[in-house]
Amino acid sequence: MRTVSGLDVHKDSIFMCILDEQGKKREEKFGVTTREIKRLSSVMHTHYVREVCMESTGIYWIPIWRLLENDFALLLVNPQFLKQLPGRKSDV
Give the chain's end-to-end CA distance (angstroms, integer): 36
- Residue ranges of domains in the chain, CATH in brackets: 4-82 (3.30.420.60)
Predicted TM-score of the model (pTM): 0.82
pLDDT average, residue stretch 71-86:
77
State the Cα–Cα distance between residues 6 and 54, nearest whole angstrom.
6
Length reported for the chain: 92
Confidence bin at 81 (pLDDT 50/70/90): low
User: pLDDT by residue (tens digit) across 33-72?
Assistant: 999 999 999 999 999 999 999 988 789 999 999 999 999 9
Mean pLDDT of the chain: 88
